[in-house]
Structure 1
Amino acid sequence: MKAGDWATLLQVVTTETRVSQTEIAQAVGISQPHVSRLLTGRSRDPGLRTVRALCDGLGIPRSLAGLLDEQESDTNRRQFVAAAAAATGVALVGTAAGGVPLESRDDEQLLTIPSTTYRRLEQRMPARSLLPPVSAHLALIRQLASRNERSPVHTRQLYSVLSETAGLTAWLYVDVDDRASARRHYQLAVHAADRSGHPLLLAYMRASLGQFAANCGDAREAVQIVASARRALPRSAPAISTVWMDAIESLALAEAGDKKSLHLLNHAEDRLAKARNDEPVWPWIFRFDHQKLASFRAQVASKLDQPSLASRALSIAASGPAQSPKTKALSDVLRAQILAKSGRLDEACNIACEAFDAGKKYESEKILQSVSRFREALGGRAGKLTLDLDERLYGRYQEDR
């Protein structure tokens, strides 16, 4: 391994464990074509971050690859004999399939089961109801990660689980409009991702923090954070990561009023058209298609006060699979803003009322605050058209009966 013969190693892994190149790519966090080039020997000199990702994803002690790891132990070197059978272990953290065998002996894999379940429930339940169990689960993972009895490989994988769970917790705090707690948990997610040694996860969490900063109106900070996230991406990063990163950066630039954000989205669209339609690669647990990119374009165009472009982008975004209720409500608020700028106030207020009702049903302060900001932007010019919306907003401050 110190000679860098990754072709032979990967051939052994695929032969002995019957895992596919796609599964290895998911485990390691690099693109499937890059795995293919390594396996066939067409790529003989992977970068340092790629070697680290290969070691961590396949459960190989870094020292066997000639990397210095002061935490590595002789015990962990002996564990490598059994590591090939668990070659896809880390891929189960946050993948779209989310399937972890219950008979698994690895705490890291078992701990992903609640996280995956909570993530799926989030779009169907109030975030406020999920915060207590998710916070308790996060506390358990932090306690396990703080112990020194585990091998470096298992410790890094545990920090991967910790990072994803902290990111989920931050997302829930965003939904209840607790920005301080959300920021703190996104920072924890970034720190844990750094401890995991997985450059793709680190880039993802930094960019997620940057997106949060942009949505909070902190444009300058958002641009800086996304730039640091992009620097963390390895050369072998899958296409979905760079396209998504372009979309996040465009959002941050638009918050600062920079029209270069639209050119960046055009570049992302070209990149997406050339990319293979592969399965999602961890930690990107979704397909980033043209509809999702269009939703970013709609947000960017709205921030740059280009309602016609935003409206066309929203139509493209709506042509994809049905959105979850919370996501649809937020899109509806954006649509209402665009309609209002076009003078269609009656239709805009009706859509805003529907979004408010969804926010009320799912106790989403994020949605309710978005509707409130929409109403505030209208001022008094809408007159009677805002009556139903005003009654709903006023009703938030009435006692429940």
Structure 2
Amino acid sequence: MANALATCDMATVLEGVRTARGWSQGDLARAVAYSQSWVSRVVNGQQALTVSQVQDLAQRLDVPLHLLRFGGAPPPVGPVQKEVDTTRRREFGKAVAAGALLTAAPAAPPPSQAPHPVDETTASALRSITGGQRRMDASAPARHLLPSAVTHVQLAEQMLAHSRGTPFRPALSAAASEAAGFAAWLHADLGDMGSARVHYRTAVVRARQAGMRLLDVYMLGSLAAFEIDTAEDPELGLGLVREAEHVLGPSAHPTARAWLACVGALAHAGTGDGAAASRAIGRAEKEAARTTNTDPPWPWVFAFDQAKVAGYRALVGVRLRSPHEAREAFAEALAQKAANAKQAAVLQVELASAHAEAGDVDEAFRLAREALATGVRFDSERVIGRVRRFRRGYRGPRAGCVDDLDRRLTSLMTGIGAPGQGAGSGGGYP
């Protein structure tokens, strides 16, 4: 360390501080507020540093600047001076190592008495917060929930970092996974695809680190559903479903098997494989009908019953352009009042597509209008985007109901005029 300081070898200095503090390279990157890839290049000698960057790194790591020799090693002098320099360097190294350890835990009591920021209650507390947020999603706009959800993800990650070397780390990895998964859901609802994908990937990684099979499957399946239905990439989604099926195994809870089979059915329908989609829905119906499909296992919050399977059967029917089968399935799915108004609105748009395909234009656009009203009320880009997609896909004759929906969509974009006040199928939102 003394030689590194004397020659301003920041790669060795950074690695020495990281080792002294017991940090990972990611921890080091966060401490110096640079990206992990940048820090990796510096440590590996692949990144040259400016003087200002050296000073910045030293300040962030509490390395005294007077210990750094920007001009390289001093020129050789007499034996006495060499001995002095060697002693000084040795003392420099001791000072930096001691400073690094003291900075990591200032004025810490002995290890046996030191308080720890995590314990056996931390993970359950974090999970209860996420569970409450997920339930609030049924009645609150995603835009209102997102700031607190993102802050909660950061809190969960901080607690996870503190758990290194403790027996609580797997449970905290699971809590961080669930928090990230919910943040991903909210980002997707607001149409922020990039942020949604980043959080979903974090959720999958943390679930894998937790070593909890059902959570692993849930996050893989959630990412698959996102890629299939929101990103419209059924091939990628199908690959994720197959990986989740491999992780799940044959003896899991029926809720998990039924849900994953439905996600797979949606992927098969997206690729045009109607036979595989039908088989997957059949498996889901059998699992949902089992007597053991009662209390849903964590991380499922709501029971996955026959009504939910019917909703997926209806979605499959729409994608396979089977409007009559889709409408029958929608009737079964919507017979039981949905717990989440936004999810019900998504189904309404899909049902509108089935009616339009069957030639029932008035009913199709009535459903689309109601779904749009829900999307506006909850500020849900997911729902509004579905209505726009429905309208783009309609190729039938013009009618008053079509013009009315067009005016409503235009008003959302321009803010000019109240939606529904013109002629058509009635004024105002339902």
What's the TM-score once normalised by structure 1's chain length?
0.71
**Aligned with 2:190 (options 143, 165, 176):** 176
Amino acid at match of 1:114: I
Q: 1:245 to 1:275 in 2, by over 3 A?
A: farther
Q: 1:186 to 1:303 in 2, by over 3 A?
A: same
Distance (Å, rounded) in 2 between the aligned partners of 1:204 and 1:116: 15
Q: 1:124 to 1:274 in 2, by over 3 A?
A: closer
Deviations 1:336-372 (CA, angstroms, capped at 9, x unpaired): 1111111111121122111111111110001111111
Matches for 1:73-84 after TM superposition, within 5 Å: none
Distance (Å, rounded) in 2 between the aligned partners of 1:213 and 1:159: 24
Is residue 200 of structure 2 the alignment partner of residue 167 of structure 1?
Answer: no
Distance (Å, rounded) in 2 between the aligned partners of 1:151 and 1:329: 45
Single out whichever of 375-384 and 160-169 deviates more from structure 2: 375-384
**Aligned with 1:237 (options 252, 263, 273):** 252
Matching residue of 2:95: none
Matches for 1:173-212 after TM superposition, within 5 Å: 173-212=187-226
**Aligned with 1:339 (options 329, 332, 355):** 355
**Aligned with 2:283 (options 267, 282, 293):** 267
For the 8 Å contact 1:345–1:382, the answer to whether it is kept is no
Matching residue of 1:109: 124
**Aligned with 1:246 (options 236, 252, 261):** 261
Distance (Å, rounded) in 2 between the aligned partners of 1:263 and 1:257: 14
Matches for 1:121-160 after TM superposition, within 5 Å: 121-152=136-167, 154-160=168-174
Distance (Å, rounded) in 2 between the aligned partners of 1:348 and 1:235: 40
Higher relative contact order (CA 8 A, sep 6+): 1
Identity of aligned residues (%): 33
Matches for 1:1-400 after TM superposition, within 5 Å: 106-152=121-167, 154-215=168-229, 216-259=231-274, 260-379=276-395, 381-399=397-415
Distance (Å, rounded) in 1 between the aligned partners of 2:353 and 2:282: 23
- Report the Cα offset of residue 112 of structure 1: 2.1
Q: How much is the aligned-residue C-alpha RMSD, in angstroms?
A: 1.7
Distance (Å, rounded) in 2 between the aligned partners of 1:305 and 1:235: 32
- Report the Cα offset of residue 267 of structure 1: 2.4
For the 8 Å contact 2:181–2:199, the answer to whether it is kept is yes
Q: What's the secondary structure of 2:259's corresponding residue?
A: helix
Distance (Å, rounded) in 1 between the aligned partners of 2:367 and 2:250: 44
Q: What 5-or-longer segments of structure 1 have no aligned partner?
A: 1-103
Distance (Å, rounded) in 2 between the aligned partners of 1:172 and 1:293: 23
Which structure has the greater CA radius of gyration?
2
Q: What's the secondary structure of 1:157's corresponding residue?
A: helix
- Report the Cα offset of residue 275 of structure 1: 4.1
Matching residue of 2:421: none
Deviations 1:217-258 (CA, angstroms, capped at 9, x unpaired): 111111111000111114441122111111111111111111
**Length, aligned pairs only:** 297
- Report the Cα offset of residue 108 of structure 1: 1.1
Distance (Å, rounded) in 1 between the aligned partners of 2:162 and 2:286: 46
For the 8 Å contact 2:255–2:287, the answer to whether it is kept is no
Distance (Å, rounded) in 2 between the aligned partners of 1:237 and 1:122: 27
Distance (Å, rounded) in 2 between the aligned partners of 1:391 and 1:198: 49
- Report the Cα offset of residue 177 of structure 1: 0.8
Distance (Å, rounded) in 2 between the aligned partners of 1:112 and 1:283: 9
Distance (Å, rounded) in 2 between the aligned partners of 1:241 and 1:323: 19
Q: 1:289 to 1:144 in 2, by over 3 A?
A: same
For the 8 Å contact 1:160–1:193, the answer to whether it is kept is yes
Deviations 1:166-200 (CA, angstroms, capped at 9, x unpaired): 11001101110111111111100000000101111
- Report the Cα offset of residue 149 of structure 1: 4.6
Distance (Å, rounded) in 1 between the aligned partners of 2:233 and 2:259: 20
Q: What's the secondary structure of 2:295's corresponding residue?
A: coil
Distance (Å, rounded) in 2 between the aligned partners of 1:323 and 1:334: 18
What's the TM-score once normalised by structure 2's chain length?
0.66
For the 8 Å contact 1:199–1:234, the answer to whether it is kept is no
Q: 1:382 to 1:400 in 2, by over 3 A?
A: closer
Q: What's the secondary structure of 2:413's corresponding residue?
A: coil
Distance (Å, rounded) in 2 between the aligned partners of 1:315 and 1:277: 23
